[in-house]
């Protein structure tokens, strides 16, 4: 290589470079150059990122823990995704807060339709462990969506704040199952399972589900639903409003086959039938404590922690995860299917899962393993 540059160069004592630099002649470079590329984009540990400085004289901090997207106990893969396991990531954040005595309160910033029954319960258990270990207040703030397992998690906080326009509720259970027997038959594909245990393939899309098999799965769904309802009743207590009446439309929905109302109070069924409501309606039903915004949730958490001055706000992020404000979202979008055509039940790499999930979007079916 030959380079020709004219001019003068002067280097001052403080390493300032002034003037021109000239090189006239050959430049030879010998040796080995090694570059290191970080292939694991989740390898860096969680670190606190301060987004709002504390007022003078305050050394307390409030941690904002973001809970976004599907809550499934597995790593997500997809274009632009961090590939994180939401359950493992949440545990890492809880562990970090447990070890930091400067954290005086926690705000769960939740924007999720929910997820797996077990995954949601694991998140709630981890939050309970933090509260037991530190005894600091936790406030849940429901953003656009706080339904299913996300609301289940929120009920384990000390208080719940929802935006007036949030979608809240979804207290129900769903298990997605599909009968692909006729579809497979069109391609002359016949299932020939070799099994021991007559019910080992309950829920298989390769054959029609028998009534007794459906009853088995329904009993499990009912059990998980009752667990969800019991948690809401226990958490919300007297704050949960049970209306004494209902309108004509609801009366029609609640009547049984004989045209009679069930023994339970009509209003008692309203929050627990899986429906979603607005944040404002959720406040009226006692599903949340107040309507407001993230700033209100932070103020409430600070007040509950007895902080007289404005504390610092911190996010818990990895080095390669942006964190410019409390509204930044970690990119963690799951790959919906490995198949070019997404047919529910056809992708056998994903197993069906009982879900605490509000599921109006068909693409969630393959994303969550349903």
Tell me the per-residue pLDDT of 108-145, one tens digit each, with 9 for 90 and over: 999 999 999 999 999 999 999 999 999 999 999 999 99
Is residue 7 a part of any domain in this protein? no
**pLDDT value of residue 341:** 45
**Within 13 Å of residue 68, how many CA atoms lie on the same side as its CB?**
17
Domain count, the chain: 1
What rounded mean pLDDT belongs to the chain? 79
**pLDDT value of residue 22:** 59
Distance CA(62)–CA(103), nearest Å, equals 6
Residue 293: give the domain boundaries: 47-190+203-240+268-367
Q: How confident is the model at residue 152 (pLDDT cuts 50, 70, 90)?
A: very high
* CATH number for 225: 3.90.226.10
Pairing relationship of beta strands 103-112 and 276-278 according to DSSP bridges:
unpaired
Is residue 100 a part of any domain in this protein? yes
Burial category of 239 from C-beta neighbours within 10 Å (exposed 0-12, middle 13-18, buried 19 and up): middle
Distance CA(365)–CA(369), nearest Å, equals 6
- The region of weakest confidence among 93-107, 251-265, 342-356 is 251-265
Is residue 207 a part of any domain in this protein? yes
Cβ(274)–Cβ(170) below 8 Å? yes
Is residue 28 a part of any domain in this protein? no
Q: Which residue has the higher pLDDT, 39 or 107?
A: 107
Q: Which residue has the higher pLDDT, 79 or 346?
A: 79
The crossing angle, in degrees rounded to 10, of helices 117-134 and 86-99 is 0
CA distances from 162 to 167, 231, 274 (A): 9, 19, 18
Please compute the mean of the pLDDT values over residues 148-162 and round it to a whole number: 98
**pLDDT value of residue 329:** 81
* pLDDT tens digits for range 309-349: 778 999 998 887 877 788 888 777 665 544 444 444 445 44
Residues forming beta bridges with residue 52, ordered by sequence position: 313
Distance CA(225)–CA(220), nearest Å, equals 9
Cβ(271)–Cβ(169) below 8 Å? yes
**pLDDT value of residue 157:** 98
pLDDT of 101 strictly over 90: yes
């Amino acid at each position: 290589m030959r380079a020709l540059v004219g001019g003068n160069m002067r280097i001052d004592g403080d390493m300032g470079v002034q003037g021109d630099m000239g090189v006239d002649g050959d430049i030879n470079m010998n040796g080995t150059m090694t570059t290191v590329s970080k292939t694991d984009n989740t390898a860096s540990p969680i670190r606190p990122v301060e987004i709002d400085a504390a007022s003078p004289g305050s050394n307390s901090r409030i941690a904002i823990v973001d809970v976004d997207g599907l809550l499934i106990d597995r790593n997500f893969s997809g274009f632009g995704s961090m590939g994180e396991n939401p359950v493992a990531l949440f545990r890492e954040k809880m562990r970090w807060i447990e070890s930091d005595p400067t954290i005086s309160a926690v705000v769960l910033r939740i924007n999720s339709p929910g997820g797996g029954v077990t995954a949601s319960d694991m998140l709630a258990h981890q939050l309970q462990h933090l509260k037991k270990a530190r005894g600091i207040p936790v406030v849940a703030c429901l953003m656009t969506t706080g339904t299913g397992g996300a609301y289940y998690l929120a009920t384990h906080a000390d208080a719940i704040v929802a935006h007036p326009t949030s979608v809240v509720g979804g207290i129900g259970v769903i298990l997605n199952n599909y009968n692909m027997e006729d579809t497979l038959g069109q391609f002359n594909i016949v299932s020939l399972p070799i099994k021991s245990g007559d019910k080992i393939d309950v829920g298989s899309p390769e054959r029609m589900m028998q009534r007794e098999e459906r009853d088995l799965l329904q009993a499990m769904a009912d059990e998980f639903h009752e667990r969800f309802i019991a948690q809401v009743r226990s958490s919300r207590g007297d704050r949960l409003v049970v209306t004494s009446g209902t309108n004509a439309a609801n009366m029609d929905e609640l009547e049984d086959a004989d045209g009679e109302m069930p023994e339970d109070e009509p209003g008692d069924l309203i929050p627990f039938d899986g429906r979603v409501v607005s944040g404002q309606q959720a406040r009226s039903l006692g599903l949340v404590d107040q309507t407001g915004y993230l700033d209100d949730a932070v103020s409430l958490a600070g007040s509950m922690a007895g902080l007289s001055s404005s504390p610092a706000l911190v996010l818990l992020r990895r080095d390669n995860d942006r964190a410019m404000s409390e509204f930044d979202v970690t990119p963690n979008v799951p790959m919906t299917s490995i198949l070019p055509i997404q047919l529910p039940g056809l992708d056998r790499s994903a197993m069906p899962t009982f879900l605490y999930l509000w599921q109006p979007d068909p693409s969630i079916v393959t994303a969550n393993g349903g």
